[in-house]
Amino acid sequence: METKIKVLYLINHTVPYGANKALLNVLDEIIEMGVCPTVVTAFDGGICSDLDFRKIPYVIIPHVFSIYPELNSFRDYMLFFPRLIRDCIINAIAAFKLSSLVKKTNPVIIHTNIGPDHLGFYVARKLNIPHVWHIREYQDLFFNMRPIFSMRGFKRKLQSLENFPIAVTKQIYEHYSMNNNAKVIYDGVMRSNDFRFESNKNNYFLFVGRVEEAKGVGVLIKAYIKFCKLNYDFDLYLAGDVATNYKKELDDIINKEGLSEKIHFLGFRSDVNDLMAKATALIVPSRFEGFGFITVEAMFNGCLIIGHDSGGTQEILKNDNLGILYNDSEDLTIALKTLVFNGIESYFPIIKKAQEKALSLYSKEENGNQIFKFYNEILNKSNNK
């Protein structure tokens, strides 16, 4: 009889983007290989319905990231220590509850799905269980996060014995100075038979993700406004949630330029694959994209990518010339203008070459196989001690 590998997964937020989407893809593959998962989340909602659909058990244990509170205003400074004490108490209670759950369920591995969440690391170390830590983001660069007690301390945690990090790109691996315990395993985005290519593209550029300044949306809007002064035939679609205050800020800029009928806020969409397949290009303006889940989705869907020349976007596209990279707002305007002038048909060979790379490196099957192999390596190492 096949032995099941019991793994406890930790997530924090439950929004159906990025890290959580990647985890669901992992679970879809490795359950069939013999992994028996339980998921711990800090909140209800979001992907919990996806877990229910897959009949994957989950437990809600409220906890927060192990990072210092933000210091963006005078009020933040005044409330820094009360917030820090509050967060430490929340996580201390969570650690007790998680330890009790681990003793009850007896997982052989604890797998934390995001870097700023340290709860699984502490409990795994306390109970002497191997800990897999999925590092997906540039915490200090992209989100301005400050780990408790320091970034140097966080790197030491990653390098500690019985801790086995997964970096989603080579650049993430190098950024955190990972050691031989770590692996670079690219996310699995779609199944290898889910690719598509549509030659009849529509006249719009697409952004997918949280509509926020940290994702480079301000630079994108600025570049698109300049582009519209040269060509008024292409719209801009923004597919993703947006905070009310930021939406108002963008609306003021857009209305001032008379482009309210050209820039469309679509909100969260379940038809992103269709939007990508029909778009003239997907624009990825984030300066510190950890991996680029959306980038690879576009590759599977036969969509040209225009992305900032940094982070995961650069690693995916640059060496093989699989898209258009730019450095600033002026560069992006030129890229849009050049694309329209040349015609999207002239980029079809690049799109198809990018699709071939996606199929070989970023399929759900390949990702699942590599993570399952990593689990077995970890368990063999632990058993031979």
pLDDT band at 140 (very low <50, low <70, confident <90, very high): confident
pLDDT band at 289 (very low <50, low <70, confident <90, very high): confident
- In three state form, how does the secondary structure of 169-180 look? CHHHHHHCCCCC
Give the number of domains in the chain.
2
Residue 231 domain flag: yes
Residue 198 domain flag: no
Q: Residues with Cβ < 8 Å from 119, sequence gap 6 or more?
A: 10, 63, 66, 91, 94, 95, 98, 112
Looking at the chain, which runs of residues are DSSP E strands? 5-10, 35-41, 58-60, 109-112, 131-135, 163-167, 183-184, 204-208, 235-239, 263-265, 281-284, 305-308, 324-326
Domain shared by 230 and 282, yes or no: yes
Domain shared by 222 and 176, yes or no: no
Domain shared by 306 and 171, yes or no: no
Residue 196 domain flag: no
Nearest to 271 by CA among 233, 310, 235, 240: 240
Strand partners, 363: 190
Mean pLDDT of 144-173: 92
Residue 210 domain flag: yes
Residue 322 domain flag: yes
Q: Is 120 left (phi over 0), alpha (psi -120 to 50) or beta?
A: alpha
Domain shared by 226 and 171, yes or no: no
344-347: long-range contacts (C-beta < 8 A, 24 or more apart)? 344/201, 344/280, 344/281, 344/304, 345/199, 347/304
Domain shared by 39 and 161, yes or no: yes
Prediction pTM value: 0.84
Domain shared by 133 and 19, yes or no: yes
Residue 272 domain flag: yes
pLDDT band at 142 (very low <50, low <70, confident <90, very high): low
In whole angstroms, give the CA distance from residue 109 to residue 7.
Answer: 5
Residue 193 domain flag: no
Domain shared by 25 and 74, yes or no: yes
Taking only the tens place, the pLDDT of each residue in 63-116 is 999 999 999 899 999 999 999 999 999 999 999 999 999 999 999 999 999 999
**What is the amino acid identity at position 294?**
I
Q: Which CATH number do you get for residue 301?
A: 3.40.50.2000
Domain shared by 51 and 175, yes or no: yes
Across all residues in the chain, what is the average pLDDT? 93
Q: Which domain holds residue 54?
A: 5-188+363-383
Residue 60 domain flag: yes
Nearest to 357 by CA among 325, 318, 306: 318
Contact of 253 with 221, CB cutoff 8 Å: yes
Mean pLDDT of 338-359: 95
